[in-house]
Amino acid sequence: MELEKLVWLIPLLPIFGFAVNLFFGRFLPRIAVNVIACGAVLGSMILSWVAFGYVRHHAHDPGFEGLISAGLPWISVPGTESAWGKVLAEHRLVIDQLTAVMILVVTNVGFLIHLYSTGYMADDKRHSRYFSYLNLFTGFMLILVMASNLLLMFVGWEGVGLCSYLLIGFWFEKNENAAAGMKAFVVNRIGDFGFTVGVLWLFFYLGSEFQVWTLDFREIGRTIAAHHDAILPSVMTGVGILLFVGATGKSAQLPLYTWLPDAMAGPTPVSALIHAATMVTAGVYMVARMNFVYAMSPTAMTVVAVVGGLTALFAGTIGVAQNDIKKVLAYSTVSQLGFMFMGVGVGAYAAGIFHLMTHAFFKGCLFLGSGSVIHGMGGEQDIRKMGGLKKYMPITFWTFLIASLAISGFPLLAGFWSKDEILWKAFDAHDLKIPGPVIWSMGIIAAGFTAFYMTRLVVLTFFGEPRYAKAEEHHDAHGGHGHGHGTPHESPWSMTVPLIVLAFLSVFGGFIGMGAWTGLSNVFEGWLAPVFGGHGAEPHKVPPMEYVMVAVSVIVGLGGILLGLKVYLWDKGRAAEAFAQKARPLYELVRDKYRVDELYNAVAIEPLLATNEMLGRVDNIVVDGAVNGAASVSAAVSNRTGYFDNEVVDGLVNGAATATQTAGRAARRLQTGHIRQYLTTALIGGLFVIAAFCLWLNRAAFQGFLGLN
Amino acid sequence: MPISEILLNFFFYLFAATAVGGGAAVAFSRNIVRSAFALLAVLFSVAAMYAFARADFIVAAQILIYVGGILVLIIFAVMLTHKITDVKVSNESSPGLASACACVCLFVLLILTFVYAHPWERGAKPTPATMPAAEGRPPLAVDLSMTQGDGRTGAPAGATVLDGFARLHVATRAPLKGVSAARFRIQRYAPDASKKSGTWKEHRPDDPKKLLVKVADDGEEGRSALIDLERLPEGRYRWGVRFEDEAGETGWAEFGARGEGLEADFIAEKGLTKALGRAFMGPYLLAFEVVSVLLLAALVGAAYLARKEVKE
Amino acid sequence: MTDYLFSRHPLENFLVISAALFVLGVYTIITRRNAVSILMGVELVLNAANVNFVAFSQYMPGAGIHGSMFSIFVILLAAAEAAVALAIVIGIYQNFGRVDVDQADLMKE
């Protein structure tokens, strides 16, 4: 079978695994479920590498647009050749360089997380359901990144949103978990509205102006390129911003990020996969994919970059004051996503995607590590109740440490390269509406915060004296686990192996995207260059500023780490405590995530609910009133009708009987018994007959006789 | 008019008046006995009507049965349904306007319809025939017709002419020259003794010259000739005609179709009685027998119905 | 025309007489109260019909003998009918003592 058809297997294998586990998983032993789920993703992973190989082989063929799968027309409007007689959207997957990167990330990291889940969710009572959801998510995510057109991508977009909801609220026995799932879905939806409007606007604009009715990425790109000068920048700005609104929802940027911290209510592997490595990155992917739109609109790009920067900064500050290990990582994710948007916002699409990839490595590792900690702690998630775990969970500790160093931008680790690239490109951006350095400054401060709070996290979790004396009484907050145990323990191999792999990638995965200042070619950027219409990042003349930037970011990163160490490790957090006491309001504000949720609640949710309530009452009154009124009206009508029916119908029937009687009585009088009368009547009757006969016989003659002719 | 005619008319109208007047007496008389005897007058007058219509047998039947049977019965009934002590046997009637009007209407209707509006065609329908060519004369188309003796009642082929009075008539359709006389030929069927078949023999009337008549000139309507036959002996007859003149004769034109069977152009009967008798023994045989049974039943029934109940 | 004793009265004379007799008979039937009178009316009607039949039979060329035959049968049947009817009348008289048809209303509803 040709590769074109095999491409479809990449998303379909996980979906098939979903179906099998959904319907039959209940009856299969756990090991079988594990094998099916992981095997499906493994299959996709292998096929992804094959596809990658193919793309790499053909990358420099002229006019190569990617590995195009076999497709089916999806929406076409037949019979109207004029403008609509085209296939508007197809079921088709295309793997170009960008998509290849994405599917590799999704399938590889996804496979590791599936493997991890076999250990983490081993005792869960809805084991097979979990894996079916996880597979479904993987399938949808693959569709999202492999889609050839906006509509199919949107299918994946919504699909991952659905799976996110299902998986966040997986332990729905606790209300707050279900609520978190709902929140994630609803906030996502708000973003999707913007996305949809943007898509439609673009579609109609291109169609009405240039008679190109299409949703296909490449066709849109070609059209925009062909009519480069005729396109209204304002339209592109509007479209760009609207699409970015969707990305805001999906990728948890300001102001639609509030669902992500709450989403930590789901199982930790879910957080790792969906909310660190893959789903939240869909927004970044989308912006990168629609680069031709953003390239036409500096305003939109500015918006993207600014929002990204602000989010990075904002979330970074919150992360400092969080005490739940997963919440820290959640805000860290939001912040890093902001970095990614900063990257694509300033036009450094390759850098943004690169950071996406490295972030998948180290954030995935961090989340899985936190899951391992939680697992080992019997469900404890508050880092104030941890400490000194490094001797009980060495593998977890070392992998966690490596990953947090990577995220902090420790030189030569993966995060260093990707963050650096973004920061430099941000600084160097000159097509935006605001100067690049402004954005850069947001980023650098956020990077500093990142380093600080990650160090805090590591220190509080793994170093110092154990603070979990009361840990055994604490029932697991994440369910599934039943063992209150005294000593934290290392996790099984199914959980530690992925940690090791991801840590490895966190160290060595960055080398393919080394910045140009090293003098080596940026393989990653070169790989993605055909997609973004740019040329490979050949070693160009490196401005000195770049070196300065690199140095600054290194200093900031290391400085953050050192500060964190000082405050929390050497000082045992006393300075932090004092600071928190002195600036209690500020501290509490930050700890309470700036009370954004409360703000949203008060501004949007409460009025909405009040309106609901009021409308409900109105509806009740009106509807009930209407129904009751209708009931009484119909009762009255039926009463009248019944009365009428009685009178008229009975009257008719009785009247018929009476009429018959009367007629009979009248007719009876004919029977007088008088023979002569009978004879007379007979005669007169016979007379008529005879008359008729005579007249008929002589009609002509009579007419002549009477002169009628 | 000859005296016989006047007398005939007088008596006809006399008997007609008697009939109608008697009927009025039956209808309007207050005395039932008078009604009964008026009925007698009516019946007799009707018999006279039959005589004027030359239905001799029916005259006799009428008098015998109606007068001698039915009327007697009625008078018996009249007598038997009144008390002996009734001096004036009354016959009440309840005249009503409705009935009077109805009757008047009926009369008018009948008269209008059957007397005025509908002319009863009695005339003779001409039958086309051809005189074949002979002796250098071309064929000649003529119309032949037959009437009863009075000249007004036509007789179709196979009709029974009463009392043997028949008139035979021939007419050409167009004016014709060179024709002066017409000769008629009558043939009478004579069955032979074995009754299997017979032959047509020529019949000569008493005055043979009667068969040769002059041809009348009708001007534009052509030439015509006729003869009257009287008192023909009973039997079946056929006839034909031809024209004769100095130059020669035409062929014979036959009135009816000729075939091997017994097709008579007309049948001469002596009187109605024979005809009726022949019919009774022919087509009406079944009816005759049934009526006799019916009369028997009527007899028995009447006898039973009218018997006097034996009162205990 | 030859001189013979054939009636030269037109057919219509007979028809008029027959119509008059018929109407008088009908009037008798519907007017009289005595049952026997009614029967006399019936006889009038029958006779009128007979006159008609015979007249047509003698006068119309196509009628043939059938009219006269029919009138013979009419006479016969009139006889039978008169016998039976009068027997009934006498029976009524014997039972009820009177033959007034207006008073014979036992079948009245």
Question: What are A122-153's pLDDT values in tens digits?
Answer: 888 888 889 999 999 999 999 999 988 898 99
CA-CA distance, A278 to A363, in Å (whole number)? 11
Neighbours of chain A (3+ CB pairs under 8 A): B, C
pLDDT value at residue A86: 62
Residue A637 tokens, joined: 């009508």
Peptide bond into B119 cis (omega under 30): no
Could you tell me which chain C residue has the CA closest to the CA of B297? C80
Is the pLDDT confidence value at C4 over 50? no
* Beta strands A87-91 and B198-202, pairing class: unpaired
* Beta strands B223-229 and B166-172, pairing class: antiparallel
Instruction: For A92, list phi and psi in degrees, rounded to 5.
Output: -150, 140
For residues A573-592, average pLDDT: 70
Q: Does A672 touch chain B (CB under 8 A)?
A: no
For residues A277-293, average pLDDT: 86
Q: Does A672 touch chain C (CB under 8 A)?
A: yes
Is the pLDDT confidence value at A427 over 50? yes
User: B150: distance to nearest CA of chain C, Å?
Assistant: 7
Chain C residues within 8 A of B271 when measuring between CB atoms: none
Q: Which of the given ranges, A186-190, B156-160, C96-100, has the highest pLDDT on average?
A: A186-190
CA-CA distance, A627 to C81, in Å (whole number)? 85
Q: Do A687 and B96 touch (CB under 8 A)?
A: no
Q: Does B96 touch chain A (CB under 8 A)?
A: yes
pLDDT value at residue A471: 45
pLDDT value at residue B43: 96
For residues A416-441, average pLDDT: 82
Residue C42 confidence class, pLDDT cut points 50, 70, 90: very high
Query: pLDDT tens, A39-91?
Result: 999 999 999 998 888 888 887 777 667 777 777 777 766 654 444 446 677 78
Could you tell me which chain A residue has the CA closest to the CA of C25? A683
Residue A298 tokens, joined: 């500096």
Chain C residues within 8 A of B272 when measuring between CB atoms: 65, 68
**β-strand partners of B268:** B161, B235
Contact present, A533 and A222 (Cβ < 8 Å): no
For residues A215-228, average pLDDT: 83
Q: Do A680 and B117 touch (CB under 8 A)?
A: no
pLDDT value at residue B18: 96
Nearest to A705 among B94, B106, B117 (CB): B117
User: B39: distance to nearest CA of chain A, Å?
Assistant: 21
In this structure, the number of other CB atoms found within 10 A of the CB of residue A685 comes to: 10
pTM of the model: 0.56
pLDDT value at residue A624: 81
Query: pLDDT tens, A666-681?
Result: 887 777 777 777 777 8
Higher pLDDT: A250 or A466? It is A250
Taken in order of first residue, the domains within chain B and their CATH numbers are: 1-93 (1.20.120.1200), 127-271 (2.60.40)
Low-confidence ranges of chain B (pLDDT < 50): none
pLDDT value at residue A204: 86
**Cβ neighbours of residue A363 under 8 Å, at least 6 residues apart?**
A272, A276, A277, A329, A332, A333, A336, A403, A407
For residues A249-277, average pLDDT: 84
Q: Which of C71, C86, C101 is the best mutation test for B, with the most CBs of B within 10 A?
A: C86
Is the pLDDT confidence value at C53 over 90? yes
pLDDT value at residue C25: 94
Is the pLDDT confidence value at A419 over 90? no
Q: What is the mean pLDDT of chain A?
A: 81
Query: pLDDT tens, A467-497?
Result: 765 444 444 444 444 444 456 677 777 788 8
Q: How many CA atoms lie within 13 A of B44 on its CB side?
A: 13
Q: Which of B106, B108, B120 is the best mutation test for A, with the most CBs of A within 10 A?
A: B106
CA-CA distance, C54 to B46, in Å (whole number)? 11
CA-CA distance, B123 to B144, in Å (whole number)? 13
CA-CA distance, B26 to B31, in Å (whole number)? 9
CA-CA distance, A618 to A277, in Å (whole number)? 47
pLDDT value at residue B185: 83
Residue type at position A323: N
pLDDT value at residue A195: 92
User: B93: distance to nearest CA of chain A, Å?
Assistant: 11
Q: Does C104 touch chain A (CB under 8 A)?
A: yes
Q: Do C47 and B46 touch (CB under 8 A)?
A: yes
Chain C residues within 8 A of A671 when measuring between CB atoms: 107-109
Q: How many CB pairs under 8 A join A and C?
A: 30
Q: Do A684 and B98 touch (CB under 8 A)?
A: yes
Q: Which of B49, B54, B227, B289 is the best mutation test for C, with the most CBs of C within 10 A?
A: B49
Q: 3-state class of A21 per DSSP?
A: helix
Is the pLDDT confidence value at A564 over 90? no
User: A648: distance to nearest CA of chain C, Å?
Assistant: 34
